[in-house]
Chain A
Amino acid sequence: MRRYVAQRLVSVAFVLLGVSFIVFLILHLTPGDPAQILLGPLATSSELAALRERLELDKPILVQYGRWLSHVAKGDFGRSIVLRRPVLTEAWSRFKATVILAVGGMLVAFPLGVASGVISATRRGSLIDRLSAILSMVSISMPAFWVGLLLIMGFSLKLGWLPGTGMFSSAGEGGVGDLLIHLILPAVTLALVPLAVIARLTRSNMLEVIGQDFIRTARAKGAPERWVIARHAFRNTLVPLVTVLGLEVGFLLAGAVYVETVFSWPGIGSMMVNAILTRDFPLVQGGVLLIATTYVLINMATDLLYVYVDPRVRYG
């Protein structure tokens, strides 16, 4: 077990290195002079020369990467060209907003998805099962940005029940209630696809488990069906779901880009979109690095959790 953890940590370190290198390359793949890009069209030639020297742009790319990496490790992600603030401060505050959205999405997707999957599995072939299969298929075919707009049109504009933009009301002083009301529509939009995926996975996992011998034994021993489902089937179904959780969190973090744009949610996704459109590369790099690193760490955590929870899986 310990050897597995060590192996994972090493491979995660390699992957993070690769990820950071790709992020570093974002600025350098762009056609044009990096110094010019960073300082904008109004920079004087002396400013450009100074920046070029400071960034050591004449040195080989790996040297530049090393320099950039050492700054990043110290928390210096550079300054946003447009906002003139340190990237890390800006990215971090937006990241928190995205996390709130992602958590909201997960709180909708996970319980509903699992419940739907369990019901489908225990009532296999019934109307409910087939209905949820259809709904799942429909959900994963709908583009999130379209669903978001439809929900805004329906619940916000037509019915006036829920706000359709932003994280807080512009008039109010904020507060948890205000936040929650604003969270509902975006979270539901974000949750749609993960919900469908979780539902189907739960269903197929559970069907597999139910078909197994130990379930037959429990039933033969006369245990009530509810108990069989809850105690034996359900527990064993949950284990593979842990890995799915990791994947879905990644989806939530990144999928938030569209949802954040549609709902004007001040998260890191919408930050990056704006940064790209305004050619604010340090901000783009900071955002991508932050999200990708979080994703990698979460996946590692779920892998380790999976090994811990399922005693049959033993690596090394």
Chain B
Amino acid sequence: MAHPSTALSRFLHNRWSVAGTIVVLAVVLMAALAPILPLPDPDKTQPSRRLSAPSIHGFPLGSDHLGRDLLSRVVWGARISLTVGALSAGIAMSAGTALGIVAGYYGGRIDQIIMRAVDVVMAFPYILLAIALVAALGPGLVNAMIAVAVVNVSFYARGVRGAVLLLREQEFVEAARAIGSTELRILVKHILRNIVAPILVFVSMNIGVMITEMAGLSFIGLGAQPPTADWGTMLADGRQFITVASHVAAVPGLAIFILVLGFNLVGEGLRDALDPRVR
């Protein structure tokens, strides 16, 4: 396993990873500080100034079909996208890791049952299960978040199980048993510690996909419901006006792209830093 300080320095020397980190941090900061930033009310409508192009009438990014400031809406929308993305990823990671550890460590029937369930979940093409779940639970931000989380649990479960299978045969586990450590202690101290790194890599590479999925579900009307507005619904709104005001659709999509790109760069950077191989 790579020595932490060297991995960190590898990460920091990679300018793409640093760029990605800066982007993600900037968006998170912007979203967190939204209430105190000097932004106009994102819900304030000015019908007389609807569909203004960027920098007209004092709208830095233009206004939407109701005259609302797009920059402000993008910033406030970031709060939603980041929150649901993080929650979704957190749920998927925790549940998936727990399942993976149990399946990998205890093996036998439990392993069989869990892996069969995972197989069935993975039998659905990625978005399809999320859509089916939202169909069953009903449209809404929370349901969409649950649906996306459930679909992603299987990736974590499989990956963690694989890592645990490898680890549990290693000598230090046997040694720990020999000196009388309890199962729980072995699990936490040895197994968990060694899978943190790959999990971190996967989360950072996965969260971008989850954010896009959530925005996508909102885009087709299955995610955030009015009046909640995340980037996906903004895109959907803007879609009707692409003939007259292309920026209304272009801007929220650009926001999604930038954030996801940031996360993907961080993820790749982490992967390269923690597992350096000749590229």
Contacts and interface: CB of A to CB of B under 8 A. Distances in A.
A102 B76 CA distance: 36
Contact of A149 (B124, B131, B253): B253
B120 A258 contact: no
B132 A23 contact: yes
Interface residues of A, number: 50
Contacts, number: 140
Contacts of A299: 123
Interface in A257-316: 257-258, 261-262, 272-273, 275-277, 281, 284, 288, 291-292, 295-296, 299
Contacts of A277: 139, 221-222
Interface string B114-135: 0011011001111111011011
Nearest to B243: A157
Contacts of B219: 145, 258, 261
5 closest A-B pairs by CB: A146-B253, A254-B125, A18-B120, A141-B261, A29-B136
B132 A284 contact: yes
Contacts of B246: 153, 157
A146 B132 contact: no
Contacts of A22: 120, 124, 129, 132
B135 A281 contact: yes
Contacts of B145: none
Interface of A: 11, 14-16, 18-19, 22-23, 25-27, 29-31, 137-138, 140-146, 149-150, 152-153, 157, 250-251, 253-255, 257-258, 261-262, 272-273, 275-277, 281, 284, 288, 291-292, 295-296, 299
Interface in B239-255: 239, 242-243, 246, 249-250, 253-254
Contacts of A276: 131, 134-135, 139, 222
B222 to A, nearest CB: 6
Interface of B: 116-117, 119-120, 123-129, 131-132, 134-139, 208, 212, 215-216, 219-222, 235, 238-239, 242-243, 246, 249-250, 253-254, 256-257, 260-261, 264-265, 268
A33 to B, nearest CB: 15
Contact of B119 (A15, A30, A142): A15
Given A15-B119, A26-B136, 11 more contacts: A30-B136, A137-B261, A150-B250, A153-B246, A153-B249, A253-B125, A276-B139, A277-B139, A288-B131, A288-B135, A295-B123
The prevalent SS among residues of A at the interface is helix
B220 A273 contact: yes
The prevalent SS among residues of B at the interface is helix
A118 to B, nearest CB: 16
A123 to B, nearest CB: 14
A27 B135 CA distance: 8
Contact of B235 (A138, A146, A291): A146
A303 B11 CA distance: 37
B256 A146 contact: yes
A143 B215 contact: yes
